[in-house]
Amino acid sequence: MHSDTLRTSETAVPHSRPTLGEEEVAAVSRVIASGRVAQGEKVRKFEEDLARFAGRKGAAAVSSGTAGLVLALAVLGAGPEREVIIPSYVCTALFHAVRQVGAVPVLADADPATGNLDPEDVEQKITKKTVALIVPHMFGLMADMDRLSKLGVPVIEDCAQAIGAKSGAGPAGSGGVLSVFSFYATKVICTGEGGMVASDSEDLLERVRDLRDYDEKPDLRVRCNYKMTDMAAAMGIVQLRRLIGFLAARAEIAKKYDRAFAPLEASLPPNDPGRIYFRYVLGLPGEAGEAAAALRARGISCARPVFRPLHSYLGLAGFANTERLWRSSLSVPIHPSLSEEDCGRVIAAVTEVLG
């Protein structure tokens, strides 16, 4: 008991953490020294690099993933009396984006095996008012883009957790009418805060670019200031170059966890060849909240991978799979800078708590 409380946050193993180094420091420093710190040539370069990486014709950088979702929804005509289908099992960013454009969020349940949207439930939720469907790839595992793209509703692909993942249909971000990325500090690559909207439609991207910036316009209507700075973009350019290495390091840790946790009475994350390990999520036979608390008391920052599902905030029933996933899912630390020693500490603690 006492030794647990003595563990300080410095000795705790963080749940996630950005991997930043001298290259990022140098790139950001050069931008500061240039005096041109707002949206400029670094943003344009980052947009080109990301579009190429995601297999898209173009991309528009924005200030966050949420801002990207807002603008993607706006250019697809989401607004009052229009419905947007989103999963219940996801962070609240999606809900906020839909409400921010004045549209109605309609929740769909998850596939219990993957945590991703259940295409059958999505199909049931489509009405004449549906203007878009937001599809996240939860924890780095691709959702069923083939089926979800064929439901007759424009798809916004939410790649905030899945940059670098792929499926038979192509790389994350190559499907959907528009795809959205996040570069928040805890994501796979980071610019502090930041996001990107990618698409093959130059027309949609032009409209995203128009709405992210209010200045010097021929007309006056509601626009945003959702621009990215050149400092953030300089960091993003370096991070994107390092992405493949980051993903390999994450996969290496996942392999160790798979081996160590196989004997436990918990289900391992789906071992899909196209996935990335944004999160390493165990499915427990019991309550994940208690296990997370026991692990935190041992200095290992574990958490439910979704803080609280949207339907529970809204007091809605009928999301049995989401409910079960939320209760049983435990996310354990995984990030490229997790040392071998810390990886061993995670394995020992998880084995002790779940064994």
Ligand X SMILES: *Cc1c(COP(=O)(O)O)cnc(C)c1O
Give the CB-nearest residue to ligand X.
Answer: 65
Q: Residue 18, interface with ligand X (CB under 6 A)? A: no
Name which of 161 and 301 has its Cβ closer to ligand X. Answer: 161
Name which of 98 and 343 has its Cβ closer to ligand X. Answer: 98
Q: Which of 78, 105, 80 is nearest to 94 (CA)?
A: 105
User: Where in 168-207 is the site for ligand X (CB under 6 A)?
Assistant: 182, 184, 195
Buried b (16+ CB within 10 A) or exposed e, 305-335: bbeebbbeeeeeeebebbbebbebbbbbbbb
3-state SS class at 129: coil
Choose one: 59-67, 206-214, 242-250, 300-308; the region binding ligand X (CB under 6 A). 59-67
- 143 φ/ψ angles, rounded to the nearest 5 degrees: -75, 170
Distance CA 184, CA 195 (A): 8
Q: Residue 93, interface with ligand X (CB under 6 A)? A: yes
* Minimum CB–partner distance for residue 136 and ligand X (Å): 4
Distance CA 354, CA 145 (A): 34
Q: Residue 135, interface with ligand X (CB under 6 A)? A: no
Q: What is the residue whose two structure tokens read 């071998």?
A: 340
In the set 18, 65, 115, 176, which binds ligand X (CB under 6 A)?
65
* Minimum CB–partner distance for residue 13 and ligand X (Å): 21
Name which of 322 and 350 has its Cβ closer to ligand X. Answer: 322
Q: Residue 226, interface with ligand X (CB under 6 A)? A: no
Distance CA 25, CA 7 (A): 31
Q: Residue 229, interface with ligand X (CB under 6 A)? A: no
Distance CA 114, CA 127 (A): 25
Q: Residue 160, interface with ligand X (CB under 6 A)? A: yes
Are 199 and 56 a contacting pair, CB within 8 Å? yes
- 267 φ/ψ angles, rounded to the nearest 5 degrees: -85, 140
* Minimum CB–partner distance for residue 190 and ligand X (Å): 10
Name which of 78 and 93 has its Cβ closer to ligand X. Answer: 93
Buried b (16+ CB within 10 A) or exposed e, 115-134: bbbbbebbbebbeeebbbbb
Name which of 149 and 182 has its Cβ closer to ligand X. Answer: 182
Choose one: 91-99, 149-157, 225-233, 308-316; the region binding ligand X (CB under 6 A). 91-99
* Minimum CB–partner distance for residue 275 and ligand X (Å): 15
Choose one: 27-35, 155-163, 168-176, 345-353; the region binding ligand X (CB under 6 A). 155-163
Q: Tally Cβ neighbours within 10 Å of residue 248.
A: 11
Given the rule CB under 6 A, which residues bind ligand X? 64-66, 90-91, 93-94, 136, 158, 160-161, 182, 184, 195
